[in-house]
């Protein structure tokens, strides 16, 4: 029932042209630590930022019980299971704010940047997270991922 009511609300907002100007409100049990979800590991922060503001390469569809496309339209896995090649969707746009006007669509370099800043201490942006990257650290991504490359703009 709740999902149906939200769907009806959003449908009517989009139809009325109000959705573009409407502020985003998130109700949660506590305040998030911040909105750069890779710097924080609480469920509150994930619910307030990652789930509503961020897109991921893939999503998990609980109803289907499988991983489904998101920013990546498709992917392949090598026979040994050690190499994943993701093909990004074309034309994915960054959001626009009064202080940020994107000049291009998302590309593989953006995905590369997101991972490199978490995994490589020598990366210039790694130091912007004084507390580190607890989610990446808890998943041991630094030891699981050997290299990340962007061989093509959408790969």
- Residue 27 pLDDT: 73
Per residue in 84-104, pLDDT (tens digit) is 999 999 999 988 888 888 899
Q: Is residue 56 part of a domain?
A: yes
CATH number at residue 99: 3.90.76.10
Domain count, the chain: 1
Query: Does residue 110 lie within any of the structural domains?
Result: yes
- Residue 8: its pLDDT value, please? 39
**Position 127 in a domain:** yes
Buried/exposed 34-43: b ≥16 CB within 10 Å, e otherwise = eeebbbbbee
pLDDT of res. 129: 85
Q: What is the pLDDT of residues 16-34, one digit of tens each?
A: 444 455 666 767 777 777 7
pTM score > 0.85 for this model?
Answer: no
Domain span including residue 70: 32-144
Pick the residue with more confidence: 116 or 55? 116
Mean pLDDT to the nearest integer, 102-116: 93
């Amino acid at each position: 029932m709740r999902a149906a009511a939200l769907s009806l609300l959003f449908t009517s907002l989009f139809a009325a042209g109000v959705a573009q100007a409407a502020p985003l409100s998130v109700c949660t049990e506590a305040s998030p630590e911040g909105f750069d979800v890779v710097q924080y590991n609480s469920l509150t922060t994930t619910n307030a930022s990652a789930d509503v503001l961020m897109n991921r390469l893939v999503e998990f569809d609980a109803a289907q019980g499988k991983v489904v496309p998101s920013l990546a339209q498709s992917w392949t896995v090598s026979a040994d299971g050690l190499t994943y090649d993701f093909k990004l969707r074309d034309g994915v746009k960054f959001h626009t704010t009064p202080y940020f006007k994107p000049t291009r669509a998302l590309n593989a370099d953006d995905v590369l940047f997101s991972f490199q800043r978490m995994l490589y201490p020598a990366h210039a942006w790694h130091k912007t997270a004084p507390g580190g990257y607890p989610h990446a650290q808890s998943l041991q991504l630094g030891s699981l991922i050997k290299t990340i490359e962007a061989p093509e703009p959408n790969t």
